[in-house]
Amino acid sequence: MNCNIEITPGLYYVGANDYRTQKFEALWTLPHGVSYNSYLMVDEKVALIDTIEAKYTETFLTNIRNILGSRGIDYLIINHMEPDHSASIAAVRRAYPDVQIVGNPKTIDMINGFYGICHNMLVVKEGDTLHLGEKDLTFYPIPMVHWPETMATYCPQEKILFSGDAFGCFGALVGGVIDEDICCDIYWDEMYRYYASIVGKYGVPVQNALKKLAPLPIDIICTTHGPVWKKYTKKVIDIYDRLSRHESEKGVVIVYGSMYGNTARMAEEIAQAIGSQGIDKVVLYDISTVDKSVVLRDIFRYNSLIIGSATYNTGLFPDIEALLSALRNREVKSKVYGCFGSFSWAGRAVKELTAFGNDMHWTMPGAPVEMRQGFSDAIIGQCRELAKSIAAELKKC
């Protein structure tokens, strides 16, 4: 995207879309691309809020020049230092040598560490305000959403929150940048997937940020990824609130790793049995073929999780082991949990899956099912019993 869009009088979008990167952070797929958002506030003074990914620096500088012409930038405000937002800081400083860089002490330290820039900096703390003319910008550190220096910037005259990654989502901006001007259908799933992948570990800091920002009247949220939220401001705050409290919908994720189809067959049997118990939201994933961020997304979305694994080299199926690590890392809470698996000559996976559920302090209403070698009527019966126990527990929720 090479366009300038006025969001409110004097506030312009100067970011860019990325359809080229296959995996965000080299980890998370981008089927709908991603946007790196930056905003230019033009008043008696000019403030640029965040920069963008290095691949798009030239587009970014062109967007800025198209608005400012020969005019300079007074302030560059840095809400977040992850390189998808900070990588163009040095280029902005080269193009606008007099720009003063604004950040909290942690930000200023990181700018020096990443880019060797340490002069003409303005250090701000909570509640400090920059007067641009008719508009002000006030700063609110929101640490660990999802880096230590993360900060939000608020314009009280326009009731606009520049939130950094908070309230962001995957998905490039098509046909405009403000939610009310574009079709937002793709962004809701992409918000869950973004949250689960990027921010999911930091539920408590997100809750702290929401509490800190709650007294501010907010009409518009200018996040660093995804649409400018104007029509759906309340909805996106609610989604982040629910996700960061690990509040989920009634539904079951079944995910398994299977080498020769035996554990897969157990998964199908359990899914079928849960459906027959009247639970209509059941999703089933083969971990070896599915996008891992989709699995994480649905684990954050639904309140029940059933994991299956073949025993592999006397341990877990490797992709399942990686999933457990991701869930442990994100301290995922409050699941109705079950597990199952199969082995040929050394049962191990089901023991490890059971221990995992206990370690996570999840509710485990049914007996784990462990299959040795081939399928049998007895195993079918145990799969159905596990499904029945899970469904009964969900009906209490």
Residues interacting with ligand FEO, by CB under 6 A?
Answer: 80, 82, 84-85, 146, 165, 224-225
- Nearer residue to ligand FEO within complex by CB, 197 or 263: 197
- Nearer residue to ligand FEO within complex by CB, 24 or 302: 24
- Nearer residue to ligand FEO within complex by CB, 80 or 384: 80
From the CB of 164, what's the least distance to ligand FEO, in Å?
7
From the CB of 86, what's the least distance to ligand FEO, in Å?
9
From the CB of 389, what's the least distance to ligand FEO, in Å?
40
From the CB of 91, what's the least distance to ligand FEO, in Å?
18
From the CB of 304, what's the least distance to ligand FEO, in Å?
30
- Nearer residue to ligand FEO within complex by CB, 50 or 370: 50
Interatomic CA distance for residues 92 and 65, integer angstroms: 11
From the CB of 213, what's the least distance to ligand FEO, in Å?
18
Calculate the CA dihedral of residues 202, 207, 212, 213 and round it to 10 degrees. Answer: 90
From the CB of 5, what's the least distance to ligand FEO, in Å?
20
- Nearer residue to ligand FEO within complex by CB, 50 or 269: 50
- Nearer residue to ligand FEO within complex by CB, 83 or 365: 83
- Nearer residue to ligand FEO within complex by CB, 80 or 301: 80
